[in-house]
Chains A and B, each alone.
Chain A
Amino acid sequence: MKDISLGQFYPADSFTHKMDPRAKLVLVIAFIVMAFLAKNFLSYFAVLICVVSATLVSRIPIMKVLKSIKAIIFILVFTGILNLLFYNGETVLWQWWRIKISVEGIIFSVKMVLRLVLLVMGTTLLTYTTTPTAITDGMESLMKPLKYIKVPVHDIAVIMSIALRFIPIISEEVDKIMMAQKARGAAFDNGGLLKRAKALLPVLIPLFVSAFRRAEELALALDARCYNATPNRTRYKVMKFTWRDLVGLLGTAAFIVLVVALNNNFWGAYASPASVWWLFSV
């Protein structure tokens, strides 16, 4: 069985895996901005190239990435259809009551779906190449400046770390309790919604009781290990910004510039697009 505390992490020895988690977090944010900047199909294509090359560099099998898209397929279909039917376009192809399919609507919904797909591909790349622990460490480090406005950055990081640590423990416990209740004849997977929710009650109550007991002992354990003993706490793990991170940042910056340029048809470099170009530049 896979260790669920590792989340989606896909172990591999790649360029991206070796990058500083802080750089990766920044890159993901830059990527999200990039995906929202893209206006026409050409710039969308540039974003796609960016994600695909990042995926290749990360040595993540393409099937894995497609699987993460499958997870949001419902949202994709829903957004696509809604935009298609209700977009208020000029060139109407078909209309019935409030529902109207237009050329602009088609283009808009295709772009919308494309953007969502790109966003998911880009952001899951972070969770595929970085362990949750490393993400937490990276966030703590990036949020450090917030200390000056009295945000308890370190406490938040400890809370996240403990949460990650306890997810597998609690989920194991849920399994155990459910097993015990099943042995006493509880049924969790038949009956209506209400009945099933009711059946979960005997699982939730012991779960909460045990969670509080754990919290009590954990609080003592934190104290026993001198939590908050000194404001000058040291860090054992150090994150290093290396040439890889610089390459990643420069590459992403280049793509952002490209996207903006494509959005503006390179500021008139090809002022009258051929008919093929038209399709891409809408």
Chain B
Amino acid sequence: MSMQGKDPENFTIGQNDANGETDCVTDVGTPLIKADGVTYSYRNGEQVSRGVTDVSLSINRGEFVVILGRNGSGKSTLAKLLNGFLVPDEGIVTVRGIDTADDDKIFEVRSVVGMVFQNPDNQMVASVIESDVAFGPENLGVPREEIEERITDALETVGMEKYRKGSPNKLSGGQKQRIAIAAILAMRPEVVILDESTAMLDPKGRREIMDTVLKLKREKGMAVVLITHYMDEAIAADRIHIMNDGGIIASGSPAEVFGNEDAVRRAGLELPVAAKISLDLKKAGLDIGFALTDEELAEEICALK
């Protein structure tokens, strides 16, 4: 991807193609997003409240990362630091090597790091679905024919192509949230951050979003950062970070992190049922391995004796 300087006349961003491939070879292998010793506090006049303190993490290409933590633990603050909504007080965040504090390149950062929020109703700007999806690419100055293509592609990815000409008003929560995801996908980002995007949905809607997220990772090779407090959504993650009091208290694969009883308890999280049972059985003296899903638990139990 080429940035022709800061000249607004030649401002072309978000032009990398669907597979998250870019013509920029130099930063392959290096993390897409890298946060290093990041601290941020909210200041309202005299009042200062802690957002996050000394957080470091990296998001690689094609990786599915889940961030867990209780209310007020700093998850949203971290998310906003990752796409340049907030600029760290201390430390540095880079997106494909670009410092998010660099005002001239902020839109490049935001077109690479897409963000989906909690309430789908508050993310839509138009009364016709295709116009809403077109809004991002229009803002980036993408040529008309390509916008057409991107809309089709984005809506097909989230499985909402047949609603294209319709209005978002009568859709279910899950469907609306899929439109919100499509609206971000149309900007062709390389990573999508979903900040509690499943929190307002019913189980069916949550399932739809999780399926979409996994599809993005598998079929589009996109990185996804899912912020949630449903632990069952974290089972399929490549990596989990648990946040508490503005810091990351545990990181690793699902098995590693869920096995870290101390961190899970400190963060006030509820383990998936299978994990809880397997841990309890182990504590009760059985020789049983750690299980994340119901199937794994069944296998572990069958393997007993």
Residues of chain B within 8 A (CB-CB) of A238 are 144
Neighbouring A residues of B139 by C-beta, 8 Å: 225-230, 233
Q: Is the CB of A236 within 8 A of B134?
A: yes
B131 and A3 within 8 A (CB): no
Q: Is the CB of A217 within 8 A of B118?
A: yes
- Shortest CB–CB separation between residue B101 and chain A, in angstroms? 16
Interface size on B, residues (CB 8 A): 47
Count the A residues whose beta carbon is within 8 Å of the partner chain — how many?
35
0/1 interface trace, chain A 212-231, chain B, CB 8 Å (1 if under): 00100110111111111111
Which chain B residues lie closer than 8 Å to A234 at the CB level?
Answer: 137-138, 141-144, 147
Please indicate which of the listed interface residues B9, B127, B167 has the most CB atoms of chain A within 10 Å of its own CB: B127
Q: Does A161 contact B (CB under 8 A)?
A: yes
Q: Which residues of B (117-168) have their CB < 8 Å from a CB of A? A: 117-119, 121-128, 130-131, 134-144, 147-148, 151, 167-168
Contact of A133 with B140 at beta-carbon distance under 8 Å, contacts A217-B123, A229-B13, A236-B148 already known = no
**Are A217 and B126 in contact, CB atoms less than 8 angstroms apart?**
no
Interface positions of A (Cβ within 8 A of B): 3, 5-6, 131-133, 158, 161-162, 164-165, 168-169, 214, 217-218, 220-238
Q: Which residues in B have their C-beta under 8 angstroms from that of A235? A: 138, 144
Contact in complex: A226, B136 (CB < 8 Å): yes
Assuming the contacts A158-B125, A225-B184, asked whether A3 and B167 have C-beta atoms less than 8 A apart, the reply is yes
Interface residues of B in 81-123 (CB under 8 A from A): 83, 85, 107, 110-111, 114-119, 121-123
Instruction: Tell me, rounded to whole Å, the shortest Cβ–Cβ distance linking A204 to chain B.
Output: 20
Q: How far is the CA of A230 from the CA of B14 in the complex (A)?
A: 12
Interface of A is mostly: helix
B8 contacts A230, CB within 8 Å?
Answer: yes
Identify whether the interface residues of B are mostly helix, strand, loop, or mixed.
helix
Q: Tell me, yes or no, whether B305 is within 8 Å of chain A by CB.
A: no
Given A3-B170, A224-B114, A226-B110, A236 and B126 touching (CB < 8 A)? no
B140 contacts A168, C-beta separation under 8 Å: no
A-B pairs with lowest CB-CB distance, top 3? A236-B134, A229-B107, A217-B122
CB <8 Å contact, B169 and A168: yes
16 contacts between A and B (CB under 8 A): A3-B170, A161-B125, A217-B117, A220-B115, A221-B122, A224-B114, A226-B187, A227-B139, A229-B107, A230-B8, A232-B11, A234-B137, A234-B142, A235-B138, A235-B144, A236-B151
A224 x B138 contact (CB < 8 A):
no
CB <8 Å contact, A165 and B124: yes
Query: Chain B residues near A224 (CB, 8 Å)?
Result: 83, 85, 110, 114-117, 184
20 other A-B residue contacts (CB within 8 Å) besides A229-B111, A234-B142: A3-B170, A6-B167, A158-B125, A169-B169, A217-B122, A217-B123, A221-B122, A224-B115, A225-B136, A225-B183, A226-B110, A229-B107, A229-B141, A230-B140, A232-B11, A234-B147, A235-B144, A236-B131, A236-B134, A236-B144
A-B contact count (CB 8 A): 119
CA distance A5 to B169 in the complex (A): 9
Contacts of A231 in B (CB 8 A): 8
> Within B178-195, which residues are at the interface with A (CB < 8 Å)?
183-184, 187
CA distance A132 to B121 in the complex (A): 19
Most chain B Cβ neighbours within 10 Å, of A158, A221, A226: A226
